[in-house]
Structure 1
Amino acid sequence: MKMKNFVALALAGCMALSLAACGSTATTGETSEAATGEQAADATEATDATATGSGFTVQLGPNPETLDPALNSAIDGANTIITIFEPLLLVDENNEVVGGQAESWEVSDDGLTWTFTLRDGLKWSDGTDLTAKDFEYSFKRLADPNTAAPYGQTVVGMIAGYDDAVGNPDADGNTTTEPDFDALQVVASEDGKTLTVTLSYPCSYFDKIAAFASMSPVQQATIEANGDGWCTQPETFVCNGPYMITEWTPSERIVLSKNPNYVGGWDSSRIVSDTITLLLIEDDTAAYAAYNSGEAQLIKSVPSDEIPSLTPAEEGGDFYIDSNLGTYYISVNCQREPFTDPLVRKALSLAIDREYVADVVMQGTYSAAHGISCPGITDADGSQFADNANGGEPYISNDYDANLEEAKALMAEAGYPDGEGFPTVTYSTNDQAYHLPLAEYLQSAWAELGITVNIDTVEWASFTPLRRAGDYDISRNGWVMDYDDPSNMLELFQTGNGNNDGKYSNPEFDAAIEASKVADKATHYEQLHKAEDILMEDMGCIPVAYYNDFWLQSPSLQGTWHSPYGYWYLQYGYVE
């Protein structure tokens, strides 16, 4: 399959994924032979082109923090997980949900009961049988507080019994009852062929959640035998996707080989490369050297100082830019003084010239963000959620000079005129891509408020744990949507959410999120707009830019594709 114009594909995908949040009409999802006519044609081309097998090499990020589907919360890890694991459902090249390990699924008239029928002959990579009982265990493990899954509330929080499963936490996040592992209403049939999931409220985008990487099954026996180390070495790594890990040299490379026991939704006739090598390179310059030497056919880490000299794909070059449904933002530790004060957080936000950041610091590869919800997310009527936010006005004005004056006034109101008495603060970031240049810009921008900023550059392996633990003052952050519903972005900032790195907490915001969990579509979106209004008024996070992905890809690498959710699908890749 030839490389497509992915900007057009992303926009088409966003339209195709326009969802109502909740519904009550009975629906049925069913797969065909896993390949459409177009896919079958591509499969013939791919098979002919790679009759002798072989493989290809890509760089999509550094050493992953984890490849446990329940624990991963980073795009880097997810790009590997979607190649070696397979959930009940998949999202295909057209951004449509199709069967994965499930061959069909049905939704009850009231929208509460989802029944998945699994394919025959499913296997783990070690050759043992995979059944619905494996999915039951994996979903319940996501809810188990002992797992500490950052996505737990996001992906299984709407399943009936979730509160009991997590111990009915109070407003401060403390459990009030003993967590009940089996409380989550996920039931496998005795024959292991059917999985029934009962929701606590109708959620029409649950099919998108069922296709999410975190919802991949994990083998209970492997986890119990090897503990947390089960997913750190090929010898104990059992998966169920089209590829499996056969070599892993930390901070150097992961080698994936075709899984001989694979049965699932991807078209096996199109899975033609024997191996996929993932270079675990954190340094942009090293990644660029690997690409120029021919070692890698695709790299995500492109040195920012090289971008002006690269030829865009639409002009016949190998430099691609594709829109993402995501927002680059700054987490401010809302539990640390002086950041507990919304006036301080607003001042920090207003002192940022977002147009300058997007056009100069990020060299036009991102666009300025004036709210947390990004373009491309649809509203109740199919229009853009972001366009309708704040009564149609940006939360943050484009008038930087006026913003800066307001920021100085807010600092004075907070008790820090010209920064007097304000402590020296630390900005934490990893140093890939634009992260360090942005940190240096913020250092100078906040100096305009009389604030001294130290930059703490942290290796990627340590960065996300530091951020999740709240062991920082201010930190770079970001979120790429998992499905087209604004709740996926806004629920991040709910009290107790595993991805709420800034520890923002406001009962009114939480109440709006909870009120959005209803069958009525208009109410759902109305409450989410209210939630964003509260979040932006508090400046519980600081939006900076709307994401794009950019990368270099050799014309010899065919069959891969990039989704608007930030994933690279490598299953059908091959070198021509």
Structure 2
Amino acid sequence: MNKRTAFGAVTLVAALTLAGCSAGEGVDIDGAAGVEGDVLVAAIGGEPDQLDPHRTSSYFAFEVLENVFDTLVAPDENLEMQPALAESWEVSDDQLTWTFHLRDGVTFHDGSDFTSADVVYSYDRIIDEELANAWKFSAVTDVTAPDDETVVITVSQPTPNLLSNLGGFKGMAIVKKENVESGDITTAPIGTGPFSVASYTAGDRIELAANEDYWGGAPELAGVEFRFISEPATALAALRAGDIQWTDVVPTQQVSDLQGDDAVQLGLTPSSDYWYLALNEARVPWSDVRVRQAIAYAIDRDAIVQAVSYGTAALNQLAIPEQSVWYTSYDRYSTDLDTARGLLDEAGFTGGTLDLLATSDYPETVTAAQIIAANLEPLGIDVQIRQPDFSTWLDEQNSGNFDMLMMGWLGNIDPDDFYYSQHHTDGASNAQKYSNSEVDGLLDAARVEVDQDARKGLYAQAATIIADEASYIYLYNPSVIQVWSPQVSGYETRADRAIRFDDASIGD
């Protein structure tokens, strides 16, 4: 999901360093076609690990990069795919050939032309280098460019979720080959988006300049300055003081007060994200489904939700929230220590130590871990909480060095985006090593089912088994909580947490 690591001392060659410009101050950004206007200062919760959209898995990075890069198609506020770099497309009668027609006249930030070759390069890079989103191309057999303005994607089977795979921003941006091969993309990325990277001060901020030649129309803002502020109280104080104009680093305990505060604008939207626990099934005793189920019965989800979100999150024992068309009702697990003890007795488990991997970069994981430790203590389970930074957390997850971990999954659109990756035997994000042939079959079938009702039924069956067997112990769906100055207009929160400022402006 999110990744943050500390950079070494890195500063990008800037068109103009915006540091020192006061909030909303008019500036003239050299190298940005003389764009004049306001700079919106936004506080995000941490520093990106890098700025290569294909290699990062950091939400902090995506908050910035969503404004720098584009995808072939993009979700609207209802998470339905709309034209972006591709202005239209069609699918063959046998559902095996997708033809995309690209916009004319699109350029990269360095002034070079965007063509179909850039799309082919970007997708081939993800596939050939087996990057994090390579699984989204599992049905793709060929990506070709018959001419500069056309991309043809051939698939081996009907792929009803292809558009959502291409349009979900995380890792699917169209990049420039020379920018990648030079290595500059990690710190000085070049995209086609509404803003370009102007400067980067490690440990402090990233500054973007408006792209006056953006195909979607030049932004009204002259730029966006992303500051790294991890403390919610600090971010909110900066907003009230006028030092920043937007933040998603919001203390959940203050949401009720913010709702009645005319000095700020609160955006509170149900999200498609979910937070979960996963037990390492490659280790005994967590490989025993009864032990995993016992822990699912012992967890006090109500206490966790109240502690981490002050009631702003929605309890959910499956991944998909109630407002989604893919929602499935499920409520097997309640807090029941007697049932938990019975399951542990059946499994012959008499107690022991559990290594719970949380991360200091996401305080909600530490808070939840403390509650979970108290929940499991009556079962004779001694929970040892580790809380490294998220970069280390990822390394530990990927190497299987944990008994249980807590994390979230962001920006979900299509069920295949997460169920296959996380719960199929061959899933790229199946760190818990779950394997069930029936679930594999259901997820394989859902991938090619073009009838949405039938597809929903397949996912409902798979999701129920996944929860029954505690491949994940789902906890809750958080809300998207963002706050901005009343002077900011043209910005709204979204269920997929996409942060784009191309339509935003600052008034008097």
Calculate the TM-score normalised by the size of structure 2. 0.86
Q: CA RMSD in A?
A: 2.4
> Cα gap change, 1:460/1:291 in structure 2, threshold over 3 Å: closer, same or farther?
farther
Counterpart pick for 2:233 among 274, 278, 285: 285
Deviation at 1:480, TM superposition (A): 2.9
| Counterpart check, 1:71 vs 2:2 | no
Counterpart pick for 1:353 among 300, 310, 313: 300
Counterpart pick for 1:256 among 187, 208, 226: 208
Looking at structure 1, the residues matched to 343 and 377 of structure 2 have their Cα atoms a distance apart, in angstroms, of 15
> Cα gap change, 1:376/1:93 in structure 2, threshold over 3 Å: closer, same or farther?
closer
Looking at structure 2, the residues matched to 525 and 92 of structure 1 have their Cα atoms a distance apart, in angstroms, of 21
> Cα gap change, 1:256/1:494 in structure 2, threshold over 3 Å: closer, same or farther?
same
| Counterpart check, 1:489 vs 2:414 | no
Looking at structure 2, the residues matched to 365 and 225 of structure 1 have their Cα atoms a distance apart, in angstroms, of 45
> Cα gap change, 1:433/1:573 in structure 2, threshold over 3 Å: closer, same or farther?
farther
| Counterpart check, 1:215 vs 2:168 | no
Residue in 1 that maps onto 2:217: 267
Deviation at 1:511, TM superposition (A): 2.0
Residue in 1 that maps onto 2:28: none
Alpha-carbon contact 2:263-2:485 (below 8 Å) kept: no
The CA deviation string for residues 389-446 of structure 1, in whole angstroms up to 9 with x for no partner, is xxxx52324xx2xx221112222222223x2xx1242332234353322121111111
Residue in 1 that maps onto 2:138: 157
Alpha-carbon contact 1:301-1:432 (below 8 Å) kept: no
Counterpart pick for 2:157 among 168, 186, 201: 201
| Counterpart check, 1:88 vs 2:72 | yes
The CA deviation string for residues 254-309 of structure 1, in whole angstroms up to 9 with x for no partner, is 111112453x3x233xx11111011122333332333233222121122345445x
| Counterpart check, 1:551 vs 2:507 | no
Looking at structure 1, the residues matched to 103 and 71 of structure 2 have their Cα atoms a distance apart, in angstroms, of 12
Looking at structure 2, the residues matched to 311 and 562 of structure 1 have their Cα atoms a distance apart, in angstroms, of 15
> Cα gap change, 1:205/1:498 in structure 2, threshold over 3 Å: closer, same or farther?
closer
Matches within 5 A, 1:14-25: none
1:517 match: secondary structure:
helix
Residue in 2 that maps onto 1:542: 473
Residue in 2 that maps onto 1:4: none
Alpha-carbon contact 1:481-1:488 (below 8 Å) kept: no
Matches within 5 A, 1:95-494: 95-144=79-128, 147-153=129-135, 155-159=136-140, 161=141, 185-189=142-146, 191-213=147-169, 214-226=171-183, 230-234=184-188, 237-262=189-214, 264=215, 266-268=216-218, 271-307=219-255, 310-312=257-259, 318-379=265-326, 385-387=327-329, 393-397=330-334, 400=335, 403-417=336-350, 419=351, 422-483=352-413, 485-491=414-420, 492-494=422-424
Alpha-carbon contact 2:144-2:153 (below 8 Å) kept: yes
Matches within 5 A, 1:489-508: 489-491=418-420, 492-508=422-438
> Cα gap change, 1:313/1:336 in structure 2, threshold over 3 Å: closer, same or farther?
farther
Residue in 1 that maps onto 2:16: none
Deviation at 1:81, TM superposition (A): 2.0
Deviation at 1:564, TM superposition (A): 1.1
The CA deviation string for residues 499-557 of structure 1, in whole angstroms up to 9 with x for no partner, is 22323222332222112233452543333222223212221111011121112222112
1:444 match: secondary structure:
helix
> Cα gap change, 1:474/1:250 in structure 2, threshold over 3 Å: closer, same or farther?
farther
2:386 match: secondary structure:
strand
Deviation at 1:84, TM superposition (A): 0.4
> Cα gap change, 1:429/1:346 in structure 2, threshold over 3 Å: closer, same or farther?
farther
Alpha-carbon contact 2:313-2:478 (below 8 Å) kept: yes
Alpha-carbon contact 2:160-2:450 (below 8 Å) kept: no
Alpha-carbon contact 2:45-2:248 (below 8 Å) kept: yes
Q: Which amino acid aligns with 2:457?
A: E
Looking at structure 1, the residues matched to 407 and 281 of structure 2 have their Cα atoms a distance apart, in angstroms, of 14
Residue in 2 that maps onto 1:61: 45
Q: Which amino acid aligns with 1:472?
A: F
> Cα gap change, 1:63/1:307 in structure 2, threshold over 3 Å: closer, same or farther?
same
Gaps of 5+ in 1: 1-50, 162-184, 380-384, 388-392
Deviation at 1:253, TM superposition (A): 0.8
Using the TM superposition, name which of 131-140 and 515-524 deviates more: 515-524
> Cα gap change, 1:538/1:520 in structure 2, threshold over 3 Å: closer, same or farther?
same
Looking at structure 1, the residues matched to 398 and 480 of structure 2 have their Cα atoms a distance apart, in angstroms, of 24
Alpha-carbon contact 1:201-1:519 (below 8 Å) kept: no
Deviation at 1:252, TM superposition (A): 1.4
Calculate the TM-score normalised by the size of structure 1. 0.76
1:434 match: secondary structure:
helix
> Cα gap change, 1:102/1:349 in structure 2, threshold over 3 Å: closer, same or farther?
same
Residue in 1 that maps onto 2:498: 567
Alpha-carbon contact 1:251-1:281 (below 8 Å) kept: no
Alpha-carbon contact 1:107-1:114 (below 8 Å) kept: yes
Looking at structure 1, the residues matched to 55 and 260 of structure 2 have their Cα atoms a distance apart, in angstroms, of 35
Alpha-carbon contact 2:482-2:493 (below 8 Å) kept: no
1:256 match: secondary structure:
strand
Deviation at 1:57, TM superposition (A): 0.9
> Cα gap change, 1:77/1:493 in structure 2, threshold over 3 Å: closer, same or farther?
farther
Deviation at 1:315, TM superposition (A): 8.0
Deviation at 1:94, TM superposition (A): 5.5
Q: Which amino acid aligns with 1:254?
A: I
Deviation at 1:316, TM superposition (A): 8.2
Looking at structure 1, the residues matched to 323 and 253 of structure 2 have their Cα atoms a distance apart, in angstroms, of 29
The CA deviation string for residues 27-83 of structure 1, in whole angstroms up to 9 with x for no partner, is xxxxxxxxxxxxxxxxxxxxxxxx951211112331123332222334332222221
Q: Which structure has greater helix proportion? A: 1
Matches within 5 A, 1:3-22: none
